[in-house]
A and B are shown apart, each in its own frame.
Chain A
């Protein structure tokens, strides 16, 4: 168990809808990263938060947004969903803002299916 909690585990929704994915980092970790993994693909970095502030942005669509709250949990909001947004969404946390000797610890992911 990595200590990172993601909810829900599965989400099925229709095109055009909006969903919110939730992540609680490991106790003591200040940084949260969001990744998208499409079928049989590698991990695409979406966005990183550190102690409540956005630190880095990757290939995140304008329809997607995220935030990190004072209690350090994070939410990823996906709106105007399209079929291509179907993927496994991972949250990962790390001590501080990451580090070269600091692995990311991943949650179990939220599998989103857009129909």
Chain B
């Protein structure tokens, strides 16, 4: 079954420290994309970073990096130097080509709270 699993419903991190949000995925398709989104309390969904299944190097975008371990089917998000504004819900998502179009599957999210 094609699925995204985020096992941490909530996480706390001290300001200026790094934090890793876990994401595992399940698919037998060799071609897929992995994405992370941030949803602050205001509700909007903000795209952060993506990784293609054939990409050799881990993706990075500023303070965000994606720790892609293909054999373990994991795509963890690492946020370095956490800021108070990083407090939000974070969703991992996977794209797959199926039935003539791309389907995007989302995990249930991890709520991150950054402590001052």
Residues of A with Cβ closer than 8 Å to B?
2, 31, 33, 35, 41-43, 45, 48, 50, 55-56, 88, 90, 92, 94, 97-109, 111
Contacts and interface: CB of A to CB of B under 8 A. Distances in A.
Q: How large is the interface on B (under 10, 10 to 19, 20 to 34, 35 or more residues)?
A: 20 to 34
Interface in B40-81: 43-47, 50, 52-53
14 contacts: A2-B44, A31-B101, A42-B106, A43-B91, A56-B99, A88-B43, A98-B104, A100-B52, A100-B95, A102-B33, A103-B33, A103-B47, A103-B50, A105-B47
Contacts of B106: 35, 42-43
Contact residues of A: prevailing secondary structure: strand
B50 A101 contact: yes
A41 B33 CA distance: 22
A106 B32 contact: no
Contact residues of B: prevailing secondary structure: strand
A106 B108 contact: no
Interface string B28-39: 000111010100
Nearest to B32: A100
A42 B50 contact: no
A100 B59 CA distance: 14
Contacts of B103: 45, 56, 98
A56 B101 contact: yes
Nearest to A106: B45
A45 B104 contact: yes
B47 A99 contact: no
B97 A100 contact: yes
